[in-house]
A and B are shown apart, each in its own frame.
Chain A
């Protein structure tokens, strides 16, 4: 409670009127520049509140006189980018994929578009930059289930693998174990034979029985020497790259009750030019043929 405001004799400034144990405090005014800067800031803040979205309501909010919205401005940027590349993308859509690959200008757009589309749509399964993981093929290596040429990749992406598209890549490996085509012992023998190709079979194991089983049951799709068959999406088996793992147990599991990967047909989601761009990007990861 200000009790007694008095003027200080020396400075000529009023005191605050408070007194604590005989101590009085000068009520020195704030520096003018400081005060006016603060007033200017208050005026600025009110101005911002009036012009921009600021005050929340129960069902809506104050939109501001300028009608600014971060969503609208982000979308405007997105549309601007789209229209910037519209010409090149239309050109990519009209040009055969091999011809696009030979055109550095179109390639610049295609690789950029492909990189972004891949990251948004493909990376969740195939990994960043096509790293791959168990069940989802790595895309940078030289193993291709359905072909590694530009046109092959484009077809695979367009129609998908075992997807709803009638033109999808289709194939089915028989369930040798669960359908009782092969006995567990035979499956072990063929696993020994296949595993020897990349050295997981113990040295000195007799693989003649396995070789016979392989020739009778597997070679039709996977090739006589396990070199793979792209017409059936049959992976090469004499390789160091394994879709479902490379241990003896992995082989046995796959032969007994095979898993089959599925990829959606992207023609339902992406336009042809974008699919072409993704195919070019995937091809450029290093495994393209």
Chain B
């Protein structure tokens, strides 16, 4: 069995964005989704590119270029999709986050605290 890949919080956000966008995951849409996910913090488009590159190097996502389109000045989109190892990493991160939420809820009392949406 392959050793688990550890991903940071921002990487988790980008992986989640790529997962939720499905076939429409490319720079601009991933940035918009990451912005929504990390609200109220703002996310820079450059940081999104750097993280997408890093996740691709870790083989958690893969990318391909689409056909050029006129609304992009005849340039292609680089689309991203989650690889199996990416899904695995995201699942592990989600489990950890779930355990953290449950532990905090137990300590502070379920009724007194609920994570912000």
Q: Do A and B come from one complex?
A: no
